[in-house]
Structure 1
Amino acid sequence: MSRLAAAALRRGVAASRDPSSSPLAASALGSARLFSADASGEAAGAGADSQSDPFLKESSEGLAYGRFYSPTGVGNRLEKNMLKTDIIHQLDRCELSLDDVKMDYNMGFTPLGALLRFPSKAVFTTAVRQTSQNRLYKMEAISRDEWDLKQSFDGKTVLLQGVPRNALPEDIERFLCGTNFEPPPFESFLRPGVPERIRVVLVKFRTKTDAMNAFITKNRSFCLNNQVSMRVLQ
């Protein structure tokens, strides 16, 4: 064998033992670097941005909002003692939670309806179908602004009706003795009544359980000489 042929043979053997010198291996390595440094990095960055941006997140979720009410009641009102869970059971195919329901009270704390938040427009359409089937209730679309502006008492506020007009905060605290209420100031106002206006007081509690326990133990008890009725606001 000539010297030139022997040298060429040695170079070929050395190249076959070094994978990185192969054109195919070099191409694969370059592609891997491109994928890890550029493509995957860009995709990860975009995913992180979409998760941190609430606007993008909401757009992907497609939330919808509605108002649930009864057309058969006086002034389109719901039953006074209707609970959030009652509405969720009425719309049992709509994937609602307690946080998706806000009761819509008037100035006298009579429930006129409920504002609902749905996970998608398709679920809102399902709710419209459900309410139209039983004919006891109706559903209409509302804006997100209306939902955001509505206060939710969330089962942690109790309405006291019939508190004596001369009762001081200390008298109300004695009436609530034994319950886990938040300290004064209490929100108090007068509402129309017969033969005279009725004093109403709102008392906040730390948890829903505390509010319900206060209702169970204190409803129809006396503050000074007046019997006080209580109602947990949803």
Structure 2
Amino acid sequence: MSRLGAAALRRGVAAYTVPSASRLAAFVLASPRLFSADASGEAAAAAAADSQDDSFLKASREGLAYGRFYSVIAGGNRLGKDMLKTDIIHYLDRCELSLDDVKVDYNRGYYPVGALLRFPSKASFTTAIRQTNQGRLYRLEEISRDQWDLNQSFDGKALLLQGVPRNALPEDIERFLCGTNFEPPPFESFLRPGVPEPIRMVLVKFGTKTDAMNAFITKNRGFCLNNPVSVRVLQ
């Protein structure tokens, strides 16, 4: 082969195997994500993680179950006025309930008509159904979360005074409560049917459970304007 032919052959091979500078530049501009780890990729990963966390929390919330617990004795739809949250928790001892998972349901006269319960899982609720069916003293019905959320919980921070004289003024009630850390008036007051005349009830709130319990211990069966007053803790 002549020198001229060999040189031409070498130039052809070089042109075929090495991309031109313009083609290489175009490739780099068209594919920036292959050569840089910009923040957009990290943001997308973080968003995906947040979405997974939200899904997990949603699934956890949906796993809760709510029920209404009440007695079936004497017509049902009530609880014993002396029944405590701990009594319910011990009765349903296989359901992993805590004090925060129990709300006592009161009627307008603050008589306990049931308890609203929050279960950590559907399986726990099913276990409670089996326990109540075996005992046959109580009944448990499923309720919505809205019913649970709307129910007020006194959480042991309120006392119900029963037998307050009908002519007692707020100042008289304050004197009766003297020495306790009660929240100042106005007090909620109402009449409950009684014999031979209606009985006056007064609701008093406290800042803590300890304050309410101390008032219960020191004031139960005390006297307001020479009338004996019984005291009950609202849960």
TM-score normalized with structure 2 length: 0.78
Cα distance in structure 1, aligned partners of 2:116 and 2:46: 37
Q: Quote the residue 1:131 is aligned against.
A: 132
Query: Secondary structure of 2:105's match?
Result: strand
Give 1:152-167 correspondences, 5 Å limit.
152-167=153-168
Q: Quote the residue 2:26 is aligned against.
A: none
Change (3 A) 1:90 1:226: same
Q: Quote the residue 2:215 is aligned against.
A: 214
What residue ranges of structure 1 are gaps of 5+ in the alignment?
1-29
Cα distance in structure 1, aligned partners of 2:51 and 2:164: 54
> Across the two proteins, how many residue pairs are aligned to each other?
201
Q: Quote the residue 1:60 is aligned against.
A: 60
Q: Is 1:140 paired with 2:138? A: no
Q: Quote the residue 1:205 is aligned against.
A: 206
Cα distance in structure 2, aligned partners of 1:119 and 1:153: 22
- How far off its partner does 1:193 sit? 0.6
TM-score normalized with structure 1 length: 0.78
Q: Quote the residue 2:16 is aligned against.
A: none
Q: Quote the residue 1:191 is aligned against.
A: 192
Deviation readout 1:24-72 (Å, 9 max, x if unpaired): xxxxxx79x69x974x754543443565x5x862433311110011111
Cα distance in structure 2, aligned partners of 1:50 and 1:182: 45
Cα distance in structure 1, aligned partners of 2:52 and 2:202: 45
Cα distance in structure 2, aligned partners of 1:43 and 1:207: 46
Cα distance in structure 1, aligned partners of 2:106 and 2:165: 24
Q: Quote the residue 1:48 is aligned against.
A: 50
RMSD over aligned CA atoms reads 2.3
Cα distance in structure 1, aligned partners of 2:52 and 2:155: 31
Deviation readout 1:81-107 (Å, 9 max, x if unpaired): 111111111111111111111111122
Larger Rg: 2
- How far off its partner does 1:115 sit? 0.4
- How far off its partner does 1:149 sit? 1.4
Cα distance in structure 2, aligned partners of 1:49 and 1:172: 55
AA partner of residue 85 (structure 1): T
